[in-house]
Amino acid sequence: MGNQPSKKMKRFSSKEPSSHTHADDALPAPMPLPSSIHKDDAAQNGVNGDGDHGPAAGKDGSGSQRSRSTSAPRTNGSSTTRAPPPPAITVVGGGGALSTITAEGTSSPRPKSGPHKRLPSPGPPVSDGSPEGTQSPPVDIPTNPTILANANPNAPFGASLPSSTSPISASFSASSVPASANTIDIDSLISRLIATAYTGKVSKSLPLKTSEITSICLAARDIFLSQPTLIELSPPVKIVGDVHGQYADLIRLFEMCGFPPAANYLFLGDYVDRGKQSLETILLLLCYKIKYPENFFMLRGNHECANVTRVYGFYDECKRRASLKVWKTFIDVFNALPIASIVASKIFCVHGGLSPSLNNMDDIRRIARPTDVPDYGLLNDLLWSDPSDTAQDWEDNERGVSFCFGKRVIQDFLERYDMDLVCRAHMVVEDGYEFWNDRTLVTVFSAPNYCGEFDNYGACMSVSEDLLCAFELLKPLDGPALRKEMTKAKRKSAMPVQSPPATA
């Protein structure tokens, strides 16, 4: 793809910026967020070091890619008020309109190319058979049986999966799983997980039993392995960036965009680490994957890796709230996650970015799973690389792992594969999303008030059937404001979240 790096180019940076704060350093006063900054610069800007410093997690990385004016820092422990970013519209080739519309929880009127209706935000799932509190799916998100365009017809899951409203029975080969765990009442698990979010508290105990967690992981892993490494999707779909264990914000996002199955979803990775509730976050997402295997998709991020989770929170959370055996079970799931996705043959989606080792899309399809993340090579780059304003081709990445790629690389990639847009995550951006290189690449970041230190918005990119892209935004809220918001959301729910009554 494009220009290959010279053999002399180093995979790992030979020196580390002296200004970095290491993970165990004390936190200085919060600093404002640059418009586009590596998540791992949080270590430098007042947050403990993140995991984006290489699979070995050996050193802090950095590299703010932009330098325009920043948002104001937080004052007196509360989030400052600032307006959402202004609307921005662009049309990219391919015959369809690829537009961007921003709003706080809503979509602005569509350009004159056709009607665009507001996306409602359904409440949490309620008991089947109860009209009260039940909300219809968004008008532009049809309830297709599948949006997976390249499903494996011989897969054990998928079309043959039982009704999503019924408990899912699955057979597991692991002899260590008790017989009682072979039946998953998925609705009950989802209900208990969502109810936990609305308490506004972080409990040491989990709402699920260890046997239930194991069953979820085994079932989800089987589904991931039954689907392609490179997922081809048909819109409409909502694309979500980094979540990082910010569980209440994940629920806010579902409140805003629609709880499954009201919308189809593609998550770009980084579900764990950093936040206080990585376990609830990954468990809820895996439950939705089990319940809607061909309408809910999850890609692998650089934090879905054993070495990274050992250092940046998830390992410790599992040890504290569950067990090391549970952590190992999750690592088995992470090693089975798909790597990239293509939406409507026009939007390439991946967690990190492009790779000089990518010569053909079959290179991604041939990545064997389960697999750990290697120290270098195609898989490493897809999870770790970053766009650069200064590079034309490839250059060393200041994170200390993989590369930065420039405008020419992006343009060559899009022309080679006849695509219009690269959609990736992996980097904190002030407005929740940010375009690069004349709108040929967009970064989507979905964890607002990242780590409790930055006044950034979270974003979700909605792609309609005709490739209209609308960015729905979550305001940054500090701890007290977030708890208040969740309490308010709980009161607004028409009825408590409950599992459907068991049938004989």
Which sequence positions are flagged as catalytic?
303
Contact 79, 43 (CB under 8 A): no
Angle between helices 314-321 and 324-334 (to 10 degrees): 140
Angle between helices 278-291 and 186-197 (to 10 degrees): 150
User: Percentage helix, strand, coil, to 5, in the chain?
Assistant: 25, 15, 60
For residue 465, give both structure tokens.
């059937």
Give 233's strand partners: 148, 343
Task: Say which amino acid occupies 84.
Answer: P
CA distances from 498 to 120, 193, 260 (A): 22, 11, 16
Contact 169, 220 (CB under 8 A): no
CA distance 307 to 278: 16
Angle between helices 314-321 and 278-291 (to 10 degrees): 90
| 22 secondary structure, DSSP code | P
Question: What is the distance, to the nearest Å, from the Cα of residue 466 to the centroid of all Cα atoms in its chain?
Answer: 23
Give 394's strand partners: 405
Q: Token pair 């309620």 is at which residue?
A: 126
- Phi then psi for residue 154, to 5 deg, are -95, 10
| 327 secondary structure, DSSP code | H
Length of the chain in terms of residues written? 504
Contact 88, 44 (CB under 8 A): no
Task: Say which amino acid occupies 487.
Answer: T
Task: Say which amino acid occupies 499.
Answer: S
Task: Say which amino acid occupies 431.
Answer: D
Q: Which residues contact 364 (CB under 8 A, 6 or more apart)?
A: 229, 230, 339, 340, 358, 378, 382
Give the other-Cβ count within 10 Å of 128's Cβ.
13
- How many secondary structure helices (H) and strands (E) does the chain include? 11, 19
Q: With helix as H, strand as E and coil as C, how does 443-474 read?
A: EEECCCCHHHCCCCCEEEEEECCCCCEEEEEE
Nearest to 224 by CA among 310, 148, 317: 148
CA distance 265 to 263: 6
